[in-house]
Structure 1
Amino acid sequence: MKKSGISAFMLASILLLAGCSGNNAANPGSPAGESGRSAEPGGGDSGSDGPVTLTWWTMDTPSFVEANKKWIEAYKKAKPNVTINYQYFPYDIFIQKLKAAYASNTPPDVAQMFGTWVTDYAKNGHLLALEDDSVKNDIYDAPLGGYTYEGKLYGIPHEYNIENNGALAHKKMFDDSGIAYPPKTWAELMDAAGKLTVRDGNKIAVRGFDFTSTDAINFLFLAMILQQGGNYWTEDNDVDFNTPEAEKAFAAMSDMILAGKISDMTLFGTDEEPYMTFFKGNSAMTMAGPWVIAEGTGTFGVNDFDYMPIPPFAGDAPVFAAESGWGEVVSKASGHPREALDFIRFTADPEQAKMWNLATFTVPANKAVAADPDFTGQVALMKASLDSLEYGKWIGPVGDRDFWFKTVSDNFYAVVSGKLAAQDALRTITDSVNEMLARHK
């Protein structure tokens, strides 16, 4: 999951290419003190019949902050009696401040949260549910899932946090090898990956299809299960990976390393992420979220690449698991719940949502924005992601995401390293994740 913001240089590079990305749970951009920085000073607060001040907290990723400020300006014009006291903090500090504020019942009126966090705060009675949740009809199911608890909607997501269903691709490598682009089926994908893999003795010099990051291993695994018509959740919200679908998925992924040898695990657990290897020219295709587009054009200065759809492993539909991204929530302790709810509804207006997605280069949670030619025309390289949004399913209540993802990827590594049989790995994953979920519940 990408956690850094996007620099102005990277944004400009993407616009020039008519391609784009964003993302996600972001590390800080420019630093701020623990007290935060107020973008708009609070005014007098004399209740809902007069001037009202709402406090709004977010992280400090620069592109997000600038987009948020535009929301404030636009809302002030629509509701001149409402002042937004906007404070933003470095990512790590932001997380701790949220925890402390809600625990002491002194939270901001509005907070910009990542979808993975929302249900926990809702479950503990900290957030206000939307009485009128008709806005959910405008939002894709996958991002909506993270904001829904016991059938109620607690906030409004703005970002569809997608980390899969697309791959970086060097089309020139396909053209030079006379291989049709893009691959239309899973068999064509594997065939192309085999032909594009370049070996230097026993080592792989160019990976045909790389999926060896922690996120890619997990999301490919879940997508393969779903595309076979399987599921990994039980009725009790436990997981079950001891299924034929999970076994087939794990076997296919292992074969890509052991039999097909289109990639290897030599970079697993290192600081060298697969997308970095791709932009250095050492892989033909690399599975990653669309945020890597900005990394390529900005950080690596690479422009001659594409971002292609990954054909389904089974079935006709590229069904996949996805997380909810950033969105707004209202505190149950807010002194002005009516105004706070009105503000987050304002940010969900398609025009306001489009502005924010373009400014932050994030995948829209709003269906109308994702289909808007004014949006799609500026984000050409994101087409593979936008075309697949309707097939996304919420990943589910994963609890401790880091533990879940590490457990799956570490056990996959153990299998391809010959240290563990696949069925034993799947049993270990199931038992370990369920123990974590029990603690989390």
Structure 2
Amino acid sequence: MVVSGCSRASSGSGSGDAKVTLVWWTHDNPSFVEANKKRIEEYKKIKPNVTINYQYFPYDAFIQKAKAAYAGNNAPDIAQLFGTWVTDYAKNGHLDQAPNQEDLKQNFFEAALGAYTVDDKIYGIPQEYNLENGGVLAHPQMFKDKGITYPPKTYAELIDAAKQLTVRDGNKIKVKGFDFVSGDNIFFTFLSFILQQNADYWTSDGHVNLTGPEAVTAMTKLKELITVDKVTDLSRFGDNLDSSDYFFKGSSAMTIRGPWTIASGVNTYKVNDFEYIPMPSLTDSPPYFAAESGWGEVVAAKSKHKEEAWAFVNYMNQKEQALDFNVTTFTVPARKDAAEDPAYLQKLPMLKTSIDVLQYGKWVGPVQDRDFFVKSVNDNFQLIASDKMSVEDGLKKIEQSVNEMIDKHLSVGNKSS
């Protein structure tokens, strides 16, 4: 798992062409590793005096290893972190500020930079724009077989189509007309429905407001998909398989899921009878959605070779290199000019839907413990959708638990600083 390569050393520190070794940690997603190794080999030709000790680890092990390394001030020079993690590490002084801050703000999407930004300072460079909303996996042949207009242009048309496409075997749904029941998509669809009512779920003091009328409408609409429209259910929630896996197996006509699932359909399931279509807005407003800041590179504050490390990170994030990374990894560009480059959609035409909605993405916000926030929404949604709790009571529970988590998290952060 160790690859030797090279990065650009900076002469600004007086290092000249002195030999330098940089340690770079990432997770072991195969397509990411392939793209990263390619960058190393390219860079080897630019600065052969700098060696990159590239190490990659299984996702869960990587999370724990990174936590221990930063806590012990023994972090690698460069790490590929998920945006949500970056904020805490930056607040606790573990990360170096990125150079060329104004250029980053101009050249990268705001939603992609969100989690990398603390007190208006940027502490890393995202390589992808991570979104779970804005697009829907769809089987066009199922629409054609039923004589339904395709694709649906409004939310009402989507629900009407979903009802007609739902196939039942007695009381059991055999083919879901429209599925959104997955860990991430209950959460993100709920937030998108709030945003599409031109509302916000954050207060000015960094807490959440999830009991307002827009939040009630958003949660009610989600519940109705199960209890009134009856186009999906909770039967597979928490399964080992993802909701997109069931879609590719033909168990749903439409499934709201992130664009990263397209690669699974094409490469794993070898399915070619599906498309990725726009998710209509709940209202007449644009299809706003909440997005996380995806994977990107950070440089350790304690690194002895910050200039060399940033030089390599900057190289990886130049337009051509960034574009190749996104195509190789089937991810959405964080760079605006890479997303706008026709070459991207020429190579990944199914991602047009995602590219078209990037302008409507809003950073999900300072969620602190992301997994807790998602779990709180999911757990209470199940009770709401099962008529074991009212929408209003469920939202009160979510708001209270999340705000308590935020207070606890901020309190710990203040003590450590």
TM-score, with structure 1 as normaliser: 0.88
Secondary structure of 1:377 counterpart: helix
- Alignment partners' CA distance in 2, 1:149 and 1:315: 33
Q: Give per-residue Cα distances to partners, 1:263-314, cap 9 Å, x unaligned.
A: 1111122224322221221211011111221222232232111111101001
How far does residue 241 in structure 1 lie from its aligned partner after superposition?
0.2
2:66 maps to 1:98: yes
Question: Which residue does 1:8 correspond to in 2?
Answer: none
- Alignment partners' CA distance in 1, 2:45 and 2:244: 43
- Alignment partners' CA distance in 1, 2:337 and 2:50: 28
**Contact 1:170–1:304 (8 Å) recurs in 2:** yes
Alignment equivalent of 1:425, drawn from 394, 397, 404: 394
The letter for the 2-side match of 1:76 is: K
2:187 maps to 1:215: no
- Alignment partners' CA distance in 2, 1:62 and 1:312: 34
How far does residue 393 in structure 1 lie from its aligned partner after superposition?
0.5
Question: RMSD value over aligned CA atoms?
Answer: 1.9
Question: Which residue does 2:121 correspond to in 1?
Answer: 152
- Alignment partners' CA distance in 2, 1:86 and 1:397: 31
2:329 maps to 1:360: yes
Question: Which residue does 2:108 correspond to in 1?
Answer: 139
Q: Give per-residue Cα distances to partners, 1:192-239, cap 9 Å, x unaligned.
A: 111111222222222111111121111110000001011111111111
2:243 maps to 1:278: no
2:141 maps to 1:172: yes
**Contact 1:232–1:241 (8 Å) recurs in 2:** yes
2:214 maps to 1:245: yes
Aligned pairs (5 A) from 1:365-404:
365-404=334-373
Question: Which residue does 1:295 correspond to in 2?
Answer: 264
Question: Which residue does 1:187 correspond to in 2?
Answer: 156
- Alignment partners' CA distance in 2, 1:170 and 1:87: 40
- Alignment partners' CA distance in 2, 1:167 and 1:418: 27
- Alignment partners' CA distance in 2, 1:200 and 1:100: 51
- Alignment partners' CA distance in 1, 2:4 and 2:14: 22
2:84 maps to 1:112: no
How far does residue 131 in structure 1 lie from its aligned partner after superposition?
4.2
> CA distance change for structure 1 residues 282 and 249 in 2, over 3 Å: closer, same or farther?
same
How far does residue 382 in structure 1 lie from its aligned partner after superposition?
1.2
Q: Which moved more, 1:371-380 or 1:218-227?
A: 371-380
> CA distance change for structure 1 residues 380 and 333 in 2, over 3 Å: closer, same or farther?
same
2:195 maps to 1:226: yes
2:7 maps to 1:48: no
How far does residue 41 in structure 1 lie from its aligned partner after superposition?
9.3
Secondary structure of 1:375 counterpart: helix
The letter for the 2-side match of 1:342 is: A
**Contact 2:5–2:50 (8 Å) recurs in 1:** no
Q: Give per-residue Cα distances to partners, 1:357-382, cap 9 Å, x unaligned.
A: 11111111111111111111011111
> CA distance change for structure 1 residues 173 and 139 in 2, over 3 Å: closer, same or farther?
same
Secondary structure of 1:146 counterpart: helix
**Contact 1:363–1:370 (8 Å) recurs in 2:** yes
Question: Which residue does 1:63 correspond to in 2?
Answer: 31
- Alignment partners' CA distance in 2, 1:330 and 1:271: 35
**Contact 1:37–1:89 (8 Å) recurs in 2:** no
Alignment equivalent of 1:204, drawn from 173, 176, 198: 173
- Alignment partners' CA distance in 2, 1:110 and 1:47: 21
- Alignment partners' CA distance in 1, 2:67 and 2:180: 34
> CA distance change for structure 1 residues 49 and 298 in 2, over 3 Å: closer, same or farther?
closer
The letter for the 2-side match of 1:37 is: V
- Alignment partners' CA distance in 2, 1:84 and 1:280: 42
- Alignment partners' CA distance in 2, 1:267 and 1:388: 29
- Alignment partners' CA distance in 2, 1:281 and 1:333: 51
**Contact 2:326–2:333 (8 Å) recurs in 1:** yes
How far does residue 40 in structure 1 lie from its aligned partner after superposition?
4.2
- Alignment partners' CA distance in 1, 2:53 and 2:247: 43
Secondary structure of 2:406 counterpart: helix
Q: Give per-residue Cα distances to partners, 1:3-45, cap 9 Å, x unaligned.
A: xxxxxxxxxxxxxxxxxxxxxxxxxxxxxxxxx5344499xxx
TM-score, with structure 2 as normaliser: 0.93
Q: How many residues align?
A: 405
Q: Give per-residue Cα distances to partners, 1:314-362, cap 9 Å, x unaligned.
A: 1331110010111111111111111212221111100010111111111
- Alignment partners' CA distance in 1, 2:253 and 2:275: 11
How far does residue 94 in structure 1 lie from its aligned partner after superposition?
1.9
- Alignment partners' CA distance in 1, 2:261 and 2:291: 17
**Contact 1:350–1:368 (8 Å) recurs in 2:** yes
How far does residue 161 in structure 1 lie from its aligned partner after superposition?
0.9
Question: Which residue does 1:321 correspond to in 2?
Answer: 290
How far does residue 82 in structure 1 lie from its aligned partner after superposition?
2.4
Aligned pairs (5 A) from 1:77-88:
77-88=45-56
- Alignment partners' CA distance in 2, 1:90 and 1:190: 40
Secondary structure of 1:83 counterpart: strand
- Alignment partners' CA distance in 2, 1:274 and 1:336: 44
Secondary structure of 1:307 counterpart: strand
- Alignment partners' CA distance in 1, 2:226 and 2:205: 34
Question: Which residue does 1:37 correspond to in 2?
Answer: 2
How far does residue 189 in structure 1 lie from its aligned partner after superposition?
0.7
Q: Give per-residue Cα distances to partners, 1:170-205, cap 9 Å, x unaligned.
A: 100111111111111111111111111122222222
Fraction of identical pairs, as percent: 56
- Alignment partners' CA distance in 1, 2:179 and 2:34: 35
Secondary structure of 2:136 counterpart: strand
Structure 2's unaligned 5+ residue stretches are 8-12, 411-417
How far does residue 88 in structure 1 lie from its aligned partner after superposition?
1.8
How far does residue 127 in structure 1 lie from its aligned partner after superposition?
0.4
How far does residue 140 in structure 1 lie from its aligned partner after superposition?
0.8
